[in-house]
Every structure is written in structure tokens, then in C-alpha cells.
Amino acid sequence: MLFFSFLGTEYFYLLIMPALLWCVDARLGVRLGILFLLSASFNSILKLVFHAPRPFWLERKAGGFEFESSFGIPSGHAQNSMAVWGFLAAKQRVGKVWAAVIIFLIGLSRLYLGVHFPTDVLAGWVIGGALLWAFLRYEDAGAAWLKQRRLGQQILVALCASLALIAIDLMILFLLRDWHLPNNWNQNMIAVAGNRTIPAILVPEGVVRPAGALLGFAAGAAWLSAQSGLNPQGTATQRVQRYFLGITGVVIIWFGLGHVFPKGDTFISYTCLYLRYALLGLWISALAPLLFMRLKLAQPAHPALHNTKEPLAT
């Protein structure tokens, strides 16, 4: 169950999802990345809206397998897995039965580990399914609209979307300014946490990370498309080299800068967090692919544009 739960974590998505963009289908990888980051952002916002407990917050005997300090409903694992694996199934990159099994097992693992109620998981599936439906319904129209915009305008759209998500989160936090975590919830969390540090709950960190990554990822994808795009085809050796080189950059930015940048509940720390995740998104969608092409590990999707530097809308 811990393994299936891991399939819904940020670590898993950071390690596996970039491979789709770098080594399989760049266009599909960009769209999946945007869908995932939107889902993660909305999940953090909705958790604050409902600010509901997890099972072990009410009864400490329900915990012990895994610890979580964010609110319970909707389950982020269930919501994101429905969006991600459902999208891959809809695009026929994963069999529908396999996608359904993975989605179910990830949700089941959260119940078994005592970090979610059944209603949390069901809500995550419903919200993830609704977001997936909307994305599939409007992705082509949205892409066509962006194609008519200049590169600067495309980046501005990404920035506005990113900041809008953070603004919504801050507004909800403002409305919850007089709300306090019930004492029994806090005591049970402390008992289950053991030696773990319990981070603050009513903070914008949960949405700052995906919103920052959304800006960097979408802006980088638009910029790379305007340059030449990425052709992810190549030999097996080239794809393996691309993956490990790209993941090395992910680890340096995500883990390395995470130890260098300041932490805490301050404007500076959240700004650094936002910039770190923006850089992470930029690396995945643009800087790593550009490095692959410079090292001859990949070819541009549009060689003529790569040579003439003529603009191409994403």
C-alpha cells in the first residue's frame, strides 16, 4: 500500500512524468504537465475551502503507517491520479483497464494507510474526473487560441494563471484567519508524528509550489516551441542519456536549491519557493530539451526554424 501511495506523490510525478516529454511525445508531455499542475493547484485550494480532518486527527489509532499534515478532503492522490492516468488512457498511451486499476489502488492505499476517509477519496476522483473532462473538452480550443498569440502574450497568460491561483488561495486563507485547528486534532497529530516536524497548515505553500511550476513549465514550453520544439525520438541509448541528464537537473533544482533557499512563513521564503518551482518547470519543458539538442542527444522538431530562428507559436 505504501508503494501504491508513492505512485501518487510529488516525487513520483517529478521522476516519471518528464520522461514522457523528453523521450516519448513532447506535445503530449506538455499538455499532461499543465493538467497535472492545474489539478495539484486546485487540490490545495479545495483542501483549504473544506479544511476537514484526516482520520488519525480524530483517532490516533487510525494512523501510524503514513503521516500527512495537510487537510483531508479532497484526496490529492485520488484527484491527481484520476487526472493523470485518465488523461493517458484517453490519449491511448495506457490501457483503460490498467489506468482504472492504478487509480483504484492509489485511492485504496490512502484508506488503508489511515490518511483519508472514503469521502475524501471519492471527492478526489469526482473532482479529478471533472477537471479531466474539462481539459479534454477545451484543450484543443485553448491551444488554438494560444497559437494566435505572440510569445510574450503566451508567457503573460501563464503568469496571470499562476498568480490567480495564488491569489485565490490567499483570499481563502484571509477568510480563515480566525479559524484555529481544534485542540484534539493537534494533539493526535503530534502523537502520530513522533519525531517528525509538523509544518504549519494554514499557509499558502501548497499552492505556491504547483503555481510556480505552472509558470515556468508553460512559459518554457511556449519559448521552446517558438525556437524549434523538441523531437523526442532517437535511439534507446539517447533516450536513457536524456532521462538521466534531465533528472539530474531536476534533483539539483528541487532538492539542492531547497536546502539553499530560506524556509519559513515569510514573503521572502515563499518568493524563493515560487522561483525554485518556476525554475524547475522551466528546466523540464525548455532548458533540459535545449541541452539535449546542444549535446546532439535529440533533434529539433522543426530543423528549419532551429536554423533560421523564425518564431513559431506553441
The structural domains of the chain, with segments of one domain joined by +, span 2-308
Active site residues: 77, 116
Paired sense of beta strands 299-300 and 230-231, if any:
antiparallel
Q: Which three cell numbers stand for residue 16?
A: 516519471
Question: CB–CB of 208/166 below 8 Å?
Answer: yes
Q: Which three cell numbers stand for residue 48?
A: 483549504
User: Whole-model pTM above 0.75?
Assistant: yes
Question: CB–CB of 88/82 below 8 Å?
Answer: no
Each residue's pLDDT expressed in tens, for the chain with a length of 314 residues? 999 999 888 888 888 889 999 999 889 999 999 999 999 999 999 999 999 999 988 887 776 677 788 898 999 999 999 999 999 999 888 889 999 999 999 999 999 988 899 999 999 999 999 999 999 999 999 989 988 889 999 999 999 999 999 999 999 999 998 888 888 888 888 888 777 777 778 888 899 999 999 999 999 999 998 888 888 888 999 999 999 999 999 999 988 887 888 888 888 999 999 999 999 999 999 999 999 999 998 888 776 555 544 444 44
Burial class (CB in 10 A: 0-12, 13-18, 19+), 259: exposed
